[in-house]
Amino acid sequence: MDRVAFKMKLFPGFEQEYKKRHDEIWPELSALLKETGVSEYSIFLDEETNNLIGVLKVTDKALLDTLPAKALMQKWWAYMGDIMESNADNSPVSTPLKEVFYLP
């Protein structure tokens, strides 16, 4: 099991909307993530910078690379694109984070 962490950016003033949309995450998206081997997925908000820090476990990191081709993933990205920094294809601007410490 691998751990993956990444950083994204939320637009100011959309903190509550971001939380609301994730509180109401589509069941089919949750299922897709689990089918892709994702578990223990959390997103944290740094309220000073509006940076979002995602942390998840995955059975195979290569499976994460299949998500962008999924229509459901593209639909979610389009849904979220108005409240966070996004690329031209609607995927969130995401920066991988390097793990420097882990206490199992």
Catalytic residue at 39? no
Q: 54: domain CATH number? A: 3.30.70.100
Indicate whether 102 belongs to any domain: no
Q: Which of 3, 19, 22, 34 is catalytic?
A: 22
Tens of pLDDT along 1-33?
999 999 999 999 999 999 999 999 999 999 999
Indicate whether 34 belongs to any domain: yes
Percent share of the chain, pLDDT over 90: 99
What is the tally of structural domains in the chain? 1
DSSP the chain: -EEEEEEEEBPTT-HHHHHHHHHT--HHHHHHHHHTTEEEEEEEEETTTTEEEEEEEES-HHHHTTGGG-HHHHHHHHHHTTTB-B-TTSPBP-EE--------
Domain that holds residue 67: 2-96
Q: What pTM does this model have?
A: 0.93
Tens of pLDDT along 61-76?
999 999 999 999 999 9
Indicate whether 104 belongs to any domain: no
